[in-house]
Amino acid sequence: MASVPIKTAILDDYQHAALKCADWSSIAPRLAIDVYDDTIHDEDAIIKCLEPYTIICAMRERTKFPRSVLERLPNLKLLATTYMRNQGIDVAAANERGVIVCGTHGKGDPTTEHNWALLMAVARHIPVEHANIQAGNKTWQSTVPVGLHGRTIGLVGLGNLGKGTAKIAQAFNMRVVAWSPNLTPERAEEAGVAFAATKEELMKQSDFVSIHMVLVDSTRGLIGAPELAAMKPTAYFVNTSRGPIVDEDALVSALKEKKIAGAALDVYGVEPLPLDHPLRTLDNVVLSPHLGYVSDDNYKVFWEHTVENIAAFLDGVPQPRLMRPL
């Protein structure tokens, strides 16, 4: 007698990429796969949708799995996510319930690439000029782009992503200054950037402020109204890290009142960004739908490794990429 296929959910697959980016043929006959292309935030709705599934494939931190959700998913045995860190999953709570949590590696540096794509787009007003051309606007040029040469970029955070951003800034002959709660002058010097002793000092002198911090309790709301008020009125704010690092209401106010020149954002307090969110109506922003980790190469590794992780689970062999509690 043939075994019953194991119910498997692929979540938040907005681009319908999961089944195209990897070869699932080795495991597909043993699975009953459902693909979801929306994000559910309400816990009761999440439970109602996912309660039947034994295997759930989560994309990054789009759908959250705190203890309160995991305790109400009695059939869940394997939670496969992407990358080897996911703050949206309570790995300890999952392990207590016998749920295996596994991750993947990635490829390339899409976040740094996207950070610069956004910065360049907002500085050179590319979306505005693109829209003018496509709309048949008789005015051939309507904006004056902001040059990067000689300008100062302030990095909030100087980890791997911050250092990568600094190298590209230096290639544009920009001055780079950095600050974070734990950054020292010695580490800044090693990275070849100037050291800002305080947040305010960094905000005041920067023509572009770019965020490169991990979201933890101590960084939530790290950039608020006082920090935004310290920025130059000609300065731009760029965030490809996590939305809650910034007080979003304060940022919207600063943009509406033209206290800063503009913002380029890939991350938000709630994602997908609500349709009625005021950021969608502003004329001094460039917005993207959290694409900072998305690339063809990265997705290929994500989903190939996910297939391998599911195969290991089905075959009862050790997981090649087991995630541990943070």
Map tokens 């606007």 to a residue.
Answer: 137
Q: 30 with 3: CB under 8 angstroms?
A: yes
Nearest to 10 by CA among 310, 325, 319: 310
Q: What does each C-alpha distance from 225 to 213, 218, 246 come to in angstroms?
A: 18, 17, 9
Active site residue 290: yes
Q: What does each C-alpha distance from 271 to 243, 277, 289, 304 come to in angstroms?
A: 9, 11, 8, 26
Q: 103 with 128: CB under 8 angstroms?
A: no
Task: Provide the H-helix boundaries in 56-209.
Answer: 67-70, 91-96, 110-123, 126-134, 160-171, 185-190, 199-205
Q: 202 with 196: CB under 8 angstroms?
A: yes
Nearest to 324 by CA among 141, 138, 81, 113: 81
Active site residue 149: no
Task: Provide the H-helix boundaries in 172-267.
Answer: 185-190, 199-205, 225-230, 248-256
Which residue among the candidates 114, 151, 212, 242 is catalytic per the annotation?
242
In terms of C-beta distances under 8 Å and separation of at least 24 residues, what long-range contacts does 271-276 make, across chains too? Answer: 271/39, 271/62, 271/243, 272/39
76: which residues sit within 8 A by CB, 6+ positions away?
Answer: 50, 53, 54, 55, 56, 70, 97, 99
Which residue among the candidates 125, 290, 305, 321 is catalytic per the annotation?
290
Cα 270 from Cα 256, distance rounded (Å): 20
Cis ω before 110 (30° cut-off from 0): no
Active site residue 271: yes
Task: Tell me the catalytic residues.
Answer: 242, 271, 290
